[in-house]
Amino acid sequence: MMKYEEQIRAYFDDPAKQRELVAAVCRLVSIRSVRGEAQPGMPFGEGPARALDEALKLCDELGFATKNHDGYVGTAELNDKDTILHILAHMDVVGEGKGWDTDPYGPVEKDGVLYGRGVADDKGPAVAALFAMKCVKDLGIPLNHSARMILGTDEESGSEDIAHYYATEPYAKYTFSPDADFPVINIEKGHYHPDFGSTWAKAEVLPRVTGLKGGFRTNVVPPEAEAVVAGVSAADVEAAARQTAEETGAAFTVEETDGGVHVHCAGKNAHAASPDGGNNAITALLTLLDRLPLAGCGSTAAIKSMHTLFPHGDTRGKALGIAQEDELSGPLTLNLALMTLDETGFSAKFDVRFPICANEDNCKKACEASFAAHGISVTGDGDMTTVHHTDANSPFVRTLLTCYENYTGVKDAKPLAIGGGTYVHDIPGGVAFGCELPGSDPRMHGPNERIPVADLVLSCKIFAQAIAELCG
């Protein structure tokens, strides 16, 4: 048992303390803090500003010295000693969307599970970290340093808040963000998402593809795509569609229109960081179109080239010549996210999450060489970002893992590498640490976002121990 563990467990096992925790989370979740139009003192709109104000009131009530940094972030200080630990959380949320069984901003607890927009991402974890700070303070655990909670308001829309804060404030020796998974995320892959395409003279030959459109966001596996094919019968397309549906698992709808045969493809969306969980409608549609007896012209060449470079199911970039992986960070992943084609050209964009071993030669330049061989050129946004990597054997990561192991009973926990990015991606030495436990499904960004109260309580204990270890 770690020092102070018995006291920390007892502190949060108190039912009254747990009710106080839930009430505090609900208090913040009841504010719709989706980014809006900037106003004076509210750089990200009224909602995030209101949530930040309420969070700072909560921090004041818990006995912490607080400060509002120009409406971008708010801070709460554990004590008046030098700060060695930053804890990054955020008060903004994504829009509620549709499909909720409860009021997304009327948080409720059912059967020990808390529901509402932000209970898991990230108001619940933020309150858990605040209560952990309060626990350390109430128990009188001796500290040599301070921890600072940093409450942001723009994590979901680009993290301008944190960039603003660190433009004038120094980094801390240690930084963690309770806005992802346990046990610890220490590697976040780099991103590469160029715009590319080609142009050609309008042709009149038949059959040909006269238009194509698919995808809606770079970081989402496209669930839908559609095309119009002139000079071909619906019966011919339907035969190819049946074969392609069997091969790809996508669903096709074919109908005659005045402009030609309209083909709609339905796949399955997923986050671009985990493309294997989706079914790419664009690449499935390219598979179908390449199967048709199209005449030689610019659009046909583009369809064939795109199908060659992005065959359906290739989420590793093998055909593009950039597939690679390493033991620490895993494989490169690829999602062909957007594509638009008309009578005189096409443009497209993919989302690659690359591992530590990737570099400009084996990723960017290799991709551009494959494009060039097909007459395709990169038109913009062709730079690679950096991989975020904090050493798994650092005392910081080892301490966090030990705290997690002690309170969960998990043995030999391993840090994680992910394709997504967290609040600490650009912060030296930072890691993501909780609150999502292995096997849980918080439904972040979807309807019925949720988190078990027991998971929040467990997170409080883990965070309190981590604060005690790092600041003691």
Q: For 261-288, how does the pLDDT look when each residue is reduced to its tens digit (9 = 90+)?
A: 999 999 999 989 999 999 999 999 999 9
pLDDT on residue 358: 97
pLDDT on residue 370: 98
What are the structure tokens assigned to 221, written together?
């596996």
pLDDT on residue 45: 97
pLDDT on residue 219: 87
Q: Go through 424-462 and write b for each residue having 16 or more CB atoms within 10 A of its CB, e for each that does not.
A: bbebebbbbbbbbbeeeebbbebbebbbbbebbbbbbbb
**Catalytic positions, written as ranges:** 92, 155
Which residue from 46, 376, 365 is spatially nearest to 197, judged by alpha carbons?
376
Domain boundaries of the chain, sorted by first residue: 5-189+388-471, 191-380
- Cα distances from 193 to residues 26, 74, 324, 349, in angstroms, run 38, 33, 17, 6
Which residue from 467, 471, 418 is spatially nearest to 179, judged by alpha carbons?
418
pLDDT on residue 444: 87
Which top CATH class is 5-189+388-471? Answer: alpha beta
Which residue from 101, 152, 124, 125 is spatially nearest to 23, judged by alpha carbons?
124
Residues of the chain with pLDDT under 50: none
pTM for the structure as a whole = 0.89
Strands, DSSP E only, in 200-274?
Answer: 208-214, 224-230, 251-257, 260-266
Residue 197 in 3-state DSSP? strand
Give the sheet arrangement for strand 108-110, strand by strand.
108-110, 113-115, 450-452
pLDDT on residue 106: 97
Annotation: CATH topology of 191-380: Alpha-Beta Plaits (3.30.70)
